[in-house]
Amino acid sequence: MELIGVYDADATFWGELSYWVGARFGLRHCGLCDITHSLFSEKTQWRECQRKLESDSHLKFETFHRNDQPEDVRACINGNYPAVVMRDDGGKVVKIMDSNEIDACGASPERFVAEILRKLVP
């Protein structure tokens, strides 16, 4: 089983530049980007929280962009970015967080991880 987050941005030079400029002018927003990245790089705080999440849940957490996500993840998300999904051992993909739930974490890696862990507990 694994967790997969998909950003509302493309993983190309122009995609990254477009998102960065748009975010600075308030024209673009991705709550998952806000959780995992600072202005120019991945947040140290996020890396620490990601390690805690993977340790506590025993699930790998991987991120993708809109244009490089796996096809089964793309089908599950259906254009509603950002999102977090879980792929089980049988290959079934289920959305566990949508953009509103990600935004509710307020760009806090700690709140984001706590919410994922809460959703994983039956």
> 20-64: per-residue pLDDT in tens?
777 777 777 899 999 999 877 889 999 999 999 999 889 999 999
The enclosing H or E element of 60 equals strand 60-64
Among residues 90, 118, 83, the alpha carbon closest in space to that of 3 is found at 83
- Tally of structural domains, the chain: 1
pLDDT, residue 111, reads 97
Residues written for the chain: 122
pLDDT, residue 75, reads 97
> 72-97: per-residue pLDDT in tens?
999 999 999 999 999 999 999 999 99
pLDDT, residue 57, reads 87
In this structure, the strands spanning 2-6 and 60-64 are: parallel
pLDDT, residue 117, reads 93
Q: Which domain holds residue 78?
A: 2-120
CATH number of the domain that 82 lies in? 3.40.30
**How far is 46 from 12, CA to CA, in rounded Å?**
22
**How far is 101 from 10, CA to CA, in rounded Å?**
21
pLDDT, residue 12, reads 78
pLDDT, residue 115, reads 95
- Indicate the pTM of the whole model: 0.88
Torsion angle (degrees, nearest 10) of CA 31, 32, 38, 44: 140
